[in-house]
Amino acid sequence: MSQPTPSSAATDTIDAPPAIAVEGLTKRYGPVTAVGGLTFSVPSGRTVALLGGNGAGKTTTISMLLGLLLPTEGRIRALGFDMLKERHRALPRMNFSSPYVDLPHRLTVRQNLMVYSHLYGLRDPKGRIRELAEDLDIAHLLNRPSGKLSAGQKTRVALAKALLNDPALLLLDEPTASLDPDTGDWIRGYLNAYQRRTGATLFLASHNMQEVERLCDDVLIMKGGRVHDRGAPADLLARYGRGTLEDVFLDIARDRTRPLEGEGQPRAERPDRDPELPGGGSGPESLSE
């Protein structure tokens, strides 16, 4: 497997609109509020994680960002385009990978990648597939039916599919789920190099805290369908007085209100730190443009 070569050519994102801008995003299923009034933005060229326990609303949020689910309320702009009115302008420059979404089982890996190449209107589908197959070490899988792959192989094929169109905005759901530690580490390196080479924005839902610490500039933590906290990994560690993001995550998941260093007051009791209030979070600037 070969890593993409870093280049500074595509990293000038200063004038670009936010890659994602979400305002009051809500999804209700009858009495269940899966996502309740999310507001955040992700500057272009950043790698941002969406964390949260099971049922926090991550998949629902990503599905709405992709236009697969219609929000009950709220607005989404992706790459500067309104996802309700101008989805067709954003989607060709976006892509998505999830180990939980299967490609059609009977088609071979090559056939599946060809179908997606045509959907994205690639000029040289065979060349692009060859390149990605070599990069992601899936050349030996190209003629196999997609339904007969191991979980780790499916994850690599899904990533190849997600990179076919060189997306400017790549949404990833658990990008290294089911991968052995060596391959998982390699994929993280690959994604990092891809981001630096192309200046793309990566937005990933993950339960792997080490992955998030290694890859992400910013972290958005969801709980109960809302943004509970946000900030750069180092800022979150400092704020919660913890050594790992996993411990921060557990504090939030288990409603532990740790005293802030030198302030002697539990975080949850400090009204000036309420992340739900506009400008009240301790690090929303890091996610806003």
Ligand X SMILES: Nc1ncnc2c1ncn2[C@@H]1O[C@H](COP(=O)(O)OP(=O)(O)OP(=O)(O)O)[C@@H](O)[C@H]1O
Site residues (vs ligand X, CB under 6 A): 29, 32, 34, 52, 54-60
Whole-number minimum distance, CB 73 to ligand X, in Å?
15
- Report CA 68 to chain centroid distance, whole Å: 15
Q: How far is the CB of 60 from ligand X (least distance, A)?
A: 3
Q: Which helix (H) or strand (E) holds 226?
A: strand 226-231
Q: What's CA 283's distance to the chain center, in Å?
A: 19
| CB-nearer residue toward ligand X: 59 or 165 | 59
The amino acid at residue 64 is M
Which is closer to ligand X, CB of 60 or CB of 176?
A: 60
- Report the half-sphere exposure of 147 (CA within 13 A, side-chain side): 4
Q: Which residue type, as a one-letter code, is found at position 282? A: S
Q: Token digits for 144?
A: 């196999």
3-class secondary structure, 239: helix
Q: Nearest 5°: phi and psi at 104?
A: -50, 125
| Distance in Å, CB of 76 to ligand X, minimum | 15
Closest approach, Cβ 109 to ligand X, in A, equals 26
Q: How far is the CB of 70 from ligand X (least distance, A)?
A: 12
β-bridge mates for residue 58, sequence order? none
Choice between 58 and 156, CB closer to ligand X = 58
Question: Is 38 or 133 the residue whose CB approaches ligand X more closely?
Answer: 38
Q: Which is nearer to ligand X, 34 or 168 (CB)?
A: 34
